[in-house]
Structure 1
Amino acid sequence: MATQPVDFRKGIDGLAAHVANSFDLDPYSGAFFVFRSKSGDKIKVLLWDGTGMVLIHKRLNKSKFVWPALSGGTFNLSKTQFEALFEGIDWRRVVPPRLTKPAVA
């Protein structure tokens, strides 16, 4: 997740270049890259699915996405936190389960 808003006129190629140039990450890694608009009510998700680049654009009608404090760089989310963010839910309240090994196998 990019913590700074991006220019929402950027499409697939522009966002992929932003991932590579601004964060020194591989946009073709299979990771989800999430960007927010300046207004905070829109997100774009960029991902490589193995056959092509996918761009998802979502706008909330009556609220804004919860975003970490605006600073430079990126922020990692768990799958569960991403799903909450995408639904417009406060992802900071989602606590991933702790995985523990069973006492007896």
Structure 2
Amino acid sequence: MLSTAVKVYIAAAPIDMRKSIDSLSMLVRPMFDQDALSGHVFVFYGRRRDKIKVLVYDRTGFWLMYKRFESGSLADPSAIAQRGLSLAELTTWLEGIDIGVRRRVHAVSATVIS
């Protein structure tokens, strides 16, 4: 399983979705400046943003996960690629939920009466 130390890298531009594990692993270094064998998660998407491939190495081999949305498409991957994602956010995003909106934390001021 994936640990919380794993980072998620999302391609900034779409790729040819016909690419296989070998082709995608060769794109990791030039696209993300990372080693494909690092154990990090590398996310690739197609031009129409209705297909996504996730590449992960787990010490024994590569996993390639592929998802095709039956309707709709992913929220803008290029914007998300710039800020990065946690594993929890990746799961949400892969469910088709737009994660572009961040929760805001409001500061609460307290007055101390002595």
TM-score, normalised relative to structure 2: 0.73
Distance 1:41 1:55 in 2: 17
Q: Does 1:46 align with 2:55?
A: yes
Between the aligned partners of 1:94 and 1:83, the Cα distance in structure 2 is 16
Partner of 2:101: 93
Contact 2:49 2:73 in 1 (8 A): yes
Question: Counterpart in 2 of 1:18?
Answer: 27
Gaps of 5+ in 1: 98-105
| Alignment counterpart, residue 13 of structure 2, candidates 4, 12, 16 | 4
Structure 2: how far apart are the matches of 1:46 and 1:10? Answer: 11
Q: CA deviation at 1:75?
A: 5.0
- Equivalent positions of 1:73-92 (< 5 A) are 76-92=84-100
Task: Report the aligned-residue RMSD.
Answer: 2.1
Q: Which runs of 5+ in 2 are unaligned?
A: 1-9, 106-114
Distance 2:11 2:78 in 1: 11
Alpha-carbon distance in structure 1 between the residues aligned to 2:25 and 2:83: 17
Match of 2:111 in 1: none
Shift in Å, 1:3: 1.5
Q: What is the TM-score when the length of structure 1 is the normalising length?
A: 0.79
